[in-house]
Amino acid sequence: MITDQLADFLTRIRNAGTARKIRVDVTKTKMNQSVANILASEGYVKSVKEVDVEGRTYLRVFLKYENGDIRKPLIKSLKRVSKPGLRRYVNMATFPKVMSGFGVAIISTSKGIMTDKDARKSRMGGEHLCSVW
User: Is residue 101 within 8 Å of residue 66, measured between CB atoms?
Assistant: no
| Interatomic CA distance for residues 3 and 28, integer angstroms | 14
* CA distances to 34, 83, 120, 124 from 46, in Å: 15, 27, 26, 28
Mind listing the domains of the chain with CATH numbers? 1-75 (3.30.1370.30), 76-133 (3.30.1490.10)
User: DSSP secondary-structure letter at 17?
Assistant: H
Total-model pTM: 0.94
What is residue 95's predicted lDDT score, i.e. its pLDDT? 87
Q: What pairs with residue 40 in β-bridges?
A: none
> Which are the contacts of 100, defined by CB distance < 8 A and separation ≥ 6?
none
What is residue 1's predicted lDDT score, i.e. its pLDDT? 65
Over residues 96-118, the mean pLDDT reads 95
Q: What is the pLDDT of residues 38-78, one digit of tens each?
A: 999 999 999 999 999 999 999 999 999 998 888 899 999 99
What is residue 39's predicted lDDT score, i.e. its pLDDT? 98
Residue 25 has pLDDT above 70, yes or no: yes
Q: What pairs with residue 61 in β-bridges?
A: 24, 48
- Amino acid letter, residue 121: K
Greater model confidence, 35 or 70: 35
What is residue 92's predicted lDDT score, i.e. its pLDDT? 87
> Which are the contacts of 109, defined by CB distance < 8 A and separation ≥ 6?
119, 122, 124, 125, 126
Over residues 21-45, the mean pLDDT reads 97
Over residues 83-103, the mean pLDDT reads 93
Q: What pairs with residue 57 in β-bridges?
A: 52
